[in-house]
A and B are shown apart, each in its own frame.
Chain A
Amino acid sequence: MKDEFASVKFFGTVNQLPGPLEDGILLKVKGVPFLHPQYGFSINVQFMTPVGEGSIKRAAQLLELKLTKEGLFDETRKRTLSYPPAKVGLVTSVGSAAYHDFIKILAERWVGIEIEAVDVQVQGDIAPNQIVSALDSFNTAKDPVDVIVLIRGGGSADDLSAFNTELVTRSVATSRIPTLVAIGHEVDISLAEKAADKRGSTPTHAAEFLAPDKRQVLTALEQIKLQMVRALSDKLDNSKTSLTDAGLDLNKAWESYFEGRKQSITEHKRLLEILSPLNALKRGYAIVRQSGNVVLSGKKLKTNDELAIELADAQLVTTVKNIKLK
């Protein structure tokens, strides 16, 4: 402009500002020019973004200061992601290398995940709005996903500027569904990544964060098999030992019962022998019977009665000659 005091008015809403600005920041503005007969030339702003590495960086610093004060990047706000998630809401440029890397690595690691991929532009004027709409749609869906993953591959500061806008950063920070953001670049971390619950350094890294490696899980399952075999074999050993112990106890019990019986029989035998009249005969006693009945008294005997006398080694038959009662 030729006149150094002249100015051009830009009209737009606060939402269209990329964030807090200061003098010296170079902006790219997209808008509709308007010429008013009285107020002169103005531009109705449609889109505004800082351009050039220095301006982008400075604008991001200013925005970061502002959002840090608001607590958007606080560690205490970070939530844990489902591991592995059943449903993933993926926001990226479908068909990009980032998309293919993510899908490939996730497929190598885990199975059965439902991925809803919203194809958005990840750079350019409409990128912030498309990204925010995708995040909103996941946050308002009837059947919500477990995690929203926002990814893109690396690029220049200009290419990645959407991820440093207030719009996208706030949308990530306020998402009701936990977020994982991975922008493939090495130097600066974007504000959207800082606002996310989890940050991955690359899309591949993001896939690694989301799910365990099924190859490791398969190895672990093999270990569990061995563990179960060991547990069962221990149980069998224990049962065998108890059975052997029980067998030994039974043997002992039987032996002691048998010994007891044997002893008792021996004692009874000894007692019987002591009490047996045959032993008395051996000592010189005799049994006198009359008609088979033992004679205990002489009172009923008469002379000439026939008696049988049993000795230890002989039977005698005799006749009573004389009776003398005592």
Chain B
Amino acid sequence: MKSNEPSYNEKYKQLEEVIESLQSTDTDLDSAVAKYEKGMSLIADLEKYLKEAENKITKIKAAKSK
């Protein structure tokens, strides 16, 4: 995910909200279809991120001490 995109955690949170509203009896069919599409797209993003991203390592030398 690029720096201006929502982070993994934010996207996962959005996904949880989508599932909750999809399972709610208050959500009508039209909104449910929209939520479903949003949820699937969030999952695709999360999967891509988990499969393709890497950890970033910066090595720093210890301060010279006595």
Chain A residues at the B interface, C-beta cutoff of 8 Å:
46, 86, 94, 103, 106-107, 110-121, 126, 129-130, 133-134, 137, 214, 217-218, 221, 224-225, 227-229, 231-232, 235-236, 239
> Which residue from B22, B52, B58 sits with its C-beta under 8 Å from A232?
B22
Indicate if the CB atoms of B50 and A119 lie closer than 8 Å. no
B residues less than 8 Å from A228 (CB atoms): 18-19, 22, 36, 39-40
Indicate if the CB atoms of B62 and A130 lie closer than 8 Å. yes
Contacts A120-B62, A228-B36 given: A112-B47 contact, CB under 8 Å?
Answer: no
| B4 at interface, CB cutoff 8 A | no
> Which residue from A110, A133, A214 sits with its C-beta under 8 Å from B62?
A133
CB distance from B51 to the nearest CB of A (A): 8
Indicate if the CB atoms of B59 and A119 lie closer than 8 Å. yes
Contacts A46-B66, A228-B19, A231-B32 given: A115-B50 contact, CB under 8 Å?
Answer: no
CB distance from A34 to the nearest CB of B (A): 18
B residues less than 8 Å from A217 (CB atoms): 50
> Total A-B pairs in contact (CB under 8 Å)?
96
Report the interface size for chain B: residues with CB under 8 A from the other chain: 35
CB distance from A169 to the nearest CB of B (A): 18
Contacts A137-B63, A221-B43 given: A113-B36 contact, CB under 8 Å?
Answer: no
> Which residue from A86, A103, A130, A218 sits with its C-beta under 8 Å from B63?
A130
A residues less than 8 Å from B63 (CB atoms): 130, 133-134, 137
Indicate if the CB atoms of B47 and A218 lie closer than 8 Å. yes
Contacts A227-B19, A228-B22 given: A103-B62 contact, CB under 8 Å?
Answer: no
Indicate if the CB atoms of A129 and B66 lie closer than 8 Å. yes
Indicate if the CB atoms of A235 and B56 lie closer than 8 Å. no
A residues less than 8 Å from B49 (CB atoms): 111-112
Indicate if the CB atoms of A112 and B53 lie closer than 8 Å. yes
Indicate if the CB atoms of A117 and B57 lie closer than 8 Å. yes
User: Can you list 26 A-B contacts (CB < 8 A)?
Assistant: A46-B66, A107-B55, A110-B55, A111-B50, A112-B1, A112-B7, A112-B49, A115-B56, A116-B58, A117-B58, A117-B59, A118-B60, A119-B59, A121-B62, A218-B47, A221-B43, A221-B47, A224-B15, A225-B40, A228-B19, A228-B22, A228-B36, A231-B22, A231-B32, A235-B27, A235-B29
Contacts A225-B40, A231-B22, A232-B32 given: A119-B56 contact, CB under 8 Å?
Answer: no
A residues less than 8 Å from B39 (CB atoms): 224, 228
Interface string of B31-49 (1 = CB under 8 A from A): 0110010011001001101
B residues less than 8 Å from A46 (CB atoms): 66
CA of A130 to CA of B62 in the docked complex: distance in angstroms?
A: 6
B residues less than 8 Å from A126 (CB atoms): 65-66
CB distance from B42 to the nearest CB of A (A): 9
Indicate if the CB atoms of A235 and B32 lie closer than 8 Å. yes
CB distance from B19 to the nearest CB of A (A): 6
Indicate if the CB atoms of A112 and B55 lie closer than 8 Å. yes
A residues less than 8 Å from B53 (CB atoms): 111-112
Contacts A228-B19, A231-B23 given: A218-B62 contact, CB under 8 Å?
Answer: no
Most buried by B among A121, A217, A221: A221
**Nearest chain A residue, comparing its CB with the CB of B18:** A228
CA of A49 to CA of B53 in the docked complex: distance in angstroms?
A: 45
CA of A121 to CA of B18 in the docked complex: distance in angstroms?
A: 49
| B13 at interface, CB cutoff 8 A | no
CB distance from B63 to the nearest CB of A (A): 4
